[in-house]
Chain A
Amino acid sequence: MHANNEIGTIQPLHEIGEIAKENNIYFHSDGVQTAGKIPVDVKSLGVDALSISGHKLYGPKGIGVLFIRKGVKIESIQQGGGHENGLRSGTENVPGIVGLGIAAELARNTMVDEAIRLTSLRDRLKDFVLSRIEESWLNGHPAKRLPNNLNLGFKYIEGESLLLYLDALGIAASTGSACSSKKLTASHVLTAIGLKPEYSHGSLRLTLGRSNTLDEVDLAGQAIEESVIRLRKMSALGPR
């Protein structure tokens, strides 16, 4: 993937692309998290294929894009009337396509300014939380990360319970804790970056968007502080 959806880290696709090219390997990347947020130049990224999802750029749901470099042949995903050059038969979702096109145009026009705005809000929230709450940290790369993604870790508390307290305070977020997943296993991403399970359980992912304001970010920071303190008071991992 171009950027990881949980911890926001942007991957070095150009370098990976070079390795793939040298070894005659087809290279597809999931660009769902980056398209519309940061520049995605398929030529310089060196990908043979890239996927984009409409709703991630404020377009409609149920529509996406698969970029395929000229000369790369792929098999048809469903057969029938031969639509989309025989690759995907089935009447095209025209309203979806139009909506996605407009969304892409709007994203392109606002992308640079939005990235600056979101990065500033994101870091404001990060700095507030990390400075106010002890034994907390950032998961993922501090700089090479999506402008809108924050993933924080807190010792001694569990993520699902944190989400519910935040929900009561009007903040929507997600977590990598085991108890929040259907499979009851902690986030495979956090595990892969070497985070101990007991610290993965205390992770909080927040993402910002077009409608988020400075006031909302400050409210979120206070809500997080309040909730973490509350949970730590009742935690079996707290000091005696």
Chain B
Amino acid sequence: MSEIGYSKKVLDHFMNPRNVGVLESPDGYGKVGNPVCGDLMEMFIKVKEEKIDEITFRTFGCTAAIATSSMTTEMAKGKTLDEALKITRKDVADTLGGLPPQKMHCSNLAADALHLAIEDYRQKAEK
């Protein structure tokens, strides 16, 4: 499997993913991807004082998809919503020590799911 070129950190987040699961009655929920393409990600957040208090994910996808989801939850936990919105796909990939070029698109979904969850929370909060 070494020819795929996954970094140690990616493999760590893949073998021991953090924050896996569903949050009951989440404050915010984001879903991106398409099972037809082979990638689907869900992010659940609970917000306290405009900070991400709890965050979990579920992913249908490859090693990179699972690792980037896990890393994204780790990076977002405890941050303010504005700080979390600033987390980019590149940030996630860099913090993981980089991804093989053909896997970079997997990192997109994780960050996007996080942003959608925050937007979902804000839309709900406005009502």
Contact = CB atoms under 8 A, between A and B. Distances in A.
Interface of A: 156-161, 163-165, 167-168, 177-180, 182, 184, 186, 196-198, 201, 233-238, 240
Contacts of A236: 31, 33, 40-42, 58-61
Contacts of B38: 158, 177-179, 186, 197-198, 201
A172 to B, nearest CB: 9
Q: How large is the interface on B (under 10, 10 to 19, 20 to 34, 35 or more residues)?
A: 20 to 34
20 contacts: A158-B38, A160-B63, A161-B14, A161-B63, A161-B66, A163-B1, A164-B1, A164-B14, A165-B15, A178-B38, A179-B39, A180-B62, A182-B102, A186-B38, A198-B38, A201-B35, A236-B40, A236-B60, A236-B61, A237-B60
Contacts of B41: 236
Nearest to B35: A198
Contact of A235 (B14, B60, B62, B103): B60
Interface of B: 1, 11, 14-15, 17, 20-22, 31, 33, 35-42, 57-66, 102-103, 106
Contacts of B31: 236
Nearest to A183: B102
A197 B103 CA distance: 19
Nearest to B69: A234
A109 B98 CA distance: 51
B58 A198 contact: no
B40 A179 contact: no
Given A186-B38, A237-B35, A157 B62 contact: no
Nearest to A177: B38
Contacts of B106: 179
Given A235-B58, A236-B41, A237-B35, 15 more contacts: A158-B38, A163-B1, A164-B63, A167-B1, A177-B62, A197-B36, A198-B36, A198-B38, A201-B35, A234-B17, A234-B21, A234-B58, A236-B31, A236-B33, A236-B40
A72 to B, nearest CB: 40
Nearest to B41: A236
